[in-house]
Amino acid sequence: MQRQSLPRYNDAMRRYGGTVIFQGMDDDGLIEVVEEGVTRSLHFGSSAKQSTLDISRPEQLQLAYTAAMMSALLFQPAPANIALIGLGGGSLLHFLRHHYPDSEIDVVEKRSDVIAAAKRFFQLPDDDKLNIYLGDGSDFIRNCRASYDLLLVDAYHDDGMDDATDGTHFFQQCHQALSEQGVMSINLWSSHASRLEQSLLAIRECFNGHCLRLPVKGRGNIIALAYRNPQTGNLRTARQRAAVMEQQLELPFGIFLRDLRRHNLSLFSRLFS
């Protein structure tokens, strides 16, 4: 497919429940920005929302799966070095930059036109603690020299998860890229059951079994949390910490903790007595 520039979409067109304000094509397919009231969403040629941003409050996470990815903060509440594999419209980046302004954040995105759209339509932050790299996520993790306290993997295209950010080889690299108390949070998709189980099996293998699964209620997303070293503690204390974080970060950490326990009872009981 010949690469095309991304022109402004001038004619008002209703699509995905909103108005298309931008539509273009690159080598990987369609890139569309749809506006509905004060929110804008990024689409890759389908109704699935890759990112959604409230323009008036960009730090608020609008999609349930992005909020669930932040459940990793239960295990690493003060990340100093953060990496994001997959930029999209930058909703995760907005949240992290707002709540962790002193953290160093590296973002890698393989599509230059996605970066351009994020800058133009999604108020992409710009400061000296933020680095945005154009490239493949697997290559970035393999060659990175930093040790990350929080690694978020959300790399999708129009028909599913990017193959480059799945599988044993990639997850081994993620394990090596984490700090001693680092946590990886990855967005998986449940519609292909066999692939989901293969991904979870590979993560468990690479992280010595240290992997929790968190289904997103009412969605097809499964969030996997993997960590280098177990961080054991008291369940009562964990609940108290979740309540404090819920107030500070405006996310349902109490529900995250409850659901993590429900879906990972054996492993969870070894972490929290």
Q: Which residues are catalytic?
A: 154
Instruction: For residue 186, give the nearest of 129, 158, 227 by alpha carbon.
Output: 227
